[in-house]
Chain A
């Protein structure tokens, strides 16, 4: 507390220099955003912004930033700015700067100056070593600003002088050709430099030292978190925007708008007509849809849950409640964790080798259900076990003190108490398997674009007989479609296959969107359930 007051009192100019440093951080952020925008081609680098060519603008801003940071560092070293630097910038920063300048030196020596292998290695080593020395040996205020600011100055001058201009291309000269062009290189270099300079400026803002490092690191960590969320938002928003037109193609709402359905002997028209989710693919359809795939996904999930949940919860009960901790529980834990991380395509191969030959020797809905059930199983075991372990032992002891058996304790105490966790785990697991493509690709893939008449009707398919196997269900034993598989086959299908779908691109995006909605719906419900139960627990 005292020191904070002190700095504000002792040197009035501290706040001004802090404002300069903060301004540099802000400018770096603007520059970063600008370069990202031009990577994504929202602005092209040849377009002028306010009369200045984009390249010149980026270069000029880099020069300004670099100059500002270097000035700040030098000013601090000469004592014009009150800071609290350490004797050195630290090994991590020095190594990073050394590597960056090593690459810069190597590229300049080999590409711009045309040296041979020995030449560029020497050039790279000299520049890298110099940068390392500059950041490692002088005081921290010089060590962390000079290499960063210098790089920004260098890049800015390169852009301004047109060494890397809008028409610059660097052909890598590899056997399989590839080259860097200016539209990619300039924004990416700018983004990198602005990150580096932004970090240095943030350090300067914190007055170097422990506090400066704290500020510098926090800027990067926050930026990282923001980018992850922004990326997620972008992905979802993009899919939604692209998918909406196809999804609501021919959507109608009103009494009697929809197709006729018969429920419990009562025939009536649905008030909604939503062709994309109510139709299959057929030549005469006005709007083609993915009803068979939706039905297939729903049945897949139901089958997998029916298979995996009893097995998984049972296994979790045994290893948590009955078994003594030891070799056996260890083996089970290792096996479930191993199963959890097994690649989905391996489950598909297993289904192909184990289930398909034993279930009518053809790809079938049942094989897909069981394969996804195998995938869901470890997740159910892990989450159920976790939530059972979270049940306090006092509950069990209190129940046992009443003289009831172990199973009664489990049934009436442990299971109800851990139910929220189990349910959440199952819902999240279902979200994961509902979007899986690889396993069902190998075990139940049907036709690319099934017509509406191929919608599976598992309940109506049961047939009973007196000879073994007593119950048969042809609907379960034949291949069908599911949303992820449908999307995959739409991507890989040739022109001929997709000719009767019409606007194939719109159809694909709509399929992607509805898959995303189904899967993220499960996730949203799962996460909401968790928050609900957690808030309830906290109120208790």
Chain B
């Protein structure tokens, strides 16, 4: 039954034919008034969505029609209505992702266009955002360079990964392989609660305690360092790494571990030579997701950094922290308009696309691992 459609053309055509036949059967089998109800509901919901997009004050009318139609359908043809409603919710979930893509890209476009550079007569939109190094939205020459913020994000992410990856994988090993049951019952919720502490609370503690302390210790001018933002963000990414890596380690079949132990190895030998290699891709997916978390972390960076875009001197000076992509948006959205606001959306696009790629990449890796281990799909 559950045959995956082949990727070649013949398979696709066959699938399309099957789909067509199935929908014809569906129309034939369904009572006409149920069909009408569902159609009315679908059309009115589409109309309501279009009205909302067009900022129409009449949006409520088709929406009311939708409510009435589904209400009637629920009473008379619950089976079909439930099916159609759940399909609608599924489609709208995908739609949300699509809408995010469309809207932040659309808002970002003016600045990308503004920053066009002609290279050998070929206009390359947005290139100036990445070859200049000055963010100067007010004083001329007006430049919207994102290079300083990308530099900041990269530094913070590297430091955060250096904190979260080793500690997170070690904690995942502990939870999945080492800890006795009672200890695990304490540590696991503890890690989850660590994920639950709001980022603004981390930021607040960093802002009131860590930043002044660091300024004093390292004899820095002013407050705000990428180093400590990176450490705090690493702690916040830690729970993500732990829980995903633990899942990966748990998915290694028990028979593999027992087989190794039966040869007389120590637990640690089994872990390093069987469990970790087998779960390696899952563990790296966990680290990738942690990196994604670190890139997107906003509030701790916003309150702990200086908020004055610029490169640190020298570039590897992590004791000064100016701005990351996220903190740029959070700190400047209020007094930005026009091209500057649009430049903030460009920063958002960069974040969104990067993290989306990391997410898809880690899903691909995980799926491959699951196939390799032959576990239950």
Contacts and interface: CB of A to CB of B under 8 A. Distances in A.
A345 B329 contact: yes
A199 to B, nearest CB: 13
A176 B329 contact: no
A334 B358 CA distance: 12
B182 interface: no
Interface string A383-415: 000000000000000000000011110110000
B363 A334 contact: yes
Nearest to B289: A341
Contacts of A217: 268
Given A214-B267, A335-B93, A177 B219 contact: yes
Contacts of B66: none
Nearest to B328: A345
B94 A228 contact: no
Size category, A interface: 35 or more
Contact of A179 (B203, B218, B292, B333): B218
Interface string B181-207: 001001101111111111111111101
B2 A324 contact: yes
B359 to A, nearest CB: 4
B96 interface: yes
Nearest to A215: B268
Given A217-B268, A228-B190, A468-B57, A341 B293 contact: yes
A213 B192 contact: no
Interface in A317-361: 317-319, 321-327, 331-350, 352-354, 357-358
Given A180-B218, A235-B197, A350 B99 contact: yes
Contact of B99 (A232, A354, A435): A354
Given A339-B97, A515-B200, A353 B107 contact: yes
Interface in B314-357: 314, 317, 319-320, 326, 329-330, 333, 344-345, 348, 351-352, 355-356
A156 to B, nearest CB: 23
Contacts of A441: 330, 333
The listed residue with most B CB atoms (<10 A of its CB), out of A352, A357, A436, is A352
Interface stretch (B27-35, B121-129, B295-303): B295-303
B330 to A, nearest CB: 6
B162 to A, nearest CB: 14
Given A229-B187, A357-B55, A435-B196, A342 B219 contact: no
A309 to B, nearest CB: 10
B170 interface: yes
B262 interface: no
Contact of B178 (A181, A221, A354, A437): A221
* Most B C-beta atoms less than 10 A away, residue of A217, A325, A353, A527: A353
Interface stretch (A24-32, A55-63, A115-123, A487-495): A487-495
Size range of the chain B interface in the assembly: 35 or more
Contacts of A484: 198, 200, 299
B313 A175 contact: yes
A345 B238 contact: no
B299 A311 contact: no
A469 B61 CA distance: 7
A338 B266 contact: no
Interface in B281-299: 289, 292-293, 295-299
Contacts of B53: 358
Nearest to B104: A349
B198 A341 contact: no
B170 A220 contact: yes
B90 A332 contact: yes
Interface in A504-540: 508, 512, 515-516, 519-520, 522-524, 527
A512 B89 contact: no
A305 interface: no
Interface in A432-468: 432, 434-438, 441-442, 468
A349 B344 contact: yes
Interface string B89-116: 1101110110110011011000000000
Contacts of A341: 289, 292-293, 296, 355-356, 358-359
A217 B97 CA distance: 44
A378 B100 CA distance: 14
B306 to A, nearest CB: 11
A181 B187 contact: no
B119 interface: no
Interface in A10-47: none
A296 B2 CA distance: 47
A487 to B, nearest CB: 5
A442 B298 CA distance: 12
Given A335-B97, A512-B201, A319 B266 contact: no
B365 to A, nearest CB: 12
Nearest to B353: A346
Interface stretch (B38-46, B75-83, B132-140, B249-257): B75-83
A350 to B, nearest CB: 5
Contacts of A211: 266
Contact of A315 (B78, B86, B173, B317): B86
A431 interface: yes
Contact of A515 (B82, B175, B178, B201): B201
A310 interface: yes
Contacts of A334: 360, 363
A176 B89 contact: no
B79 A438 contact: no
* Chain B CB within 10 Å, residue with most, of A174, A468, A512: A468
Contacts of A488: 200, 203, 299, 302-303
A338 B351 contact: no
Contact of B189 (A324, A342, A442, A527): A527
Given A214-B266, A312-B93, A336-B93, A407 B82 contact: yes
A288 B297 CA distance: 31
B4 A326 contact: yes
A487 B201 contact: yes
B155 to A, nearest CB: 13
B90 A315 contact: yes
A218 interface: yes
B120 to A, nearest CB: 34
Contacts of B359: 337-338, 340-341
A343 B296 contact: yes
A-B pairs with lowest CB-CB distance, top 7: A343-B296, A435-B198, A314-B89, A469-B60, A318-B86, A178-B319, A175-B313
19 contacts: A176-B312, A176-B313, A176-B317, A225-B170, A339-B97, A339-B100, A341-B293, A348-B333, A354-B99, A377-B96, A405-B79, A406-B83, A435-B198, A435-B201, A437-B199, A442-B330, A469-B59, A484-B299, A515-B200
Interface of B: 1-2, 4-5, 52-53, 55, 57-61, 64, 78-79, 82-83, 85-90, 92-94, 96-97, 99-100, 103-104, 106-107, 167, 170-171, 173-175, 178-179, 183, 186-187, 189-205, 207-208, 217-221, 235, 238, 265-269, 289, 292-293, 295-299, 302-303, 312-314, 317, 319-320, 326, 329-330, 333, 344-345, 348, 351-352, 355-356, 358-360, 363
Given A176-B221, A515-B200, 16 more contacts: A179-B219, A181-B219, A310-B89, A318-B83, A322-B87, A325-B2, A334-B363, A343-B295, A345-B330, A345-B348, A346-B348, A437-B199, A438-B298, A468-B57, A469-B59, A520-B197
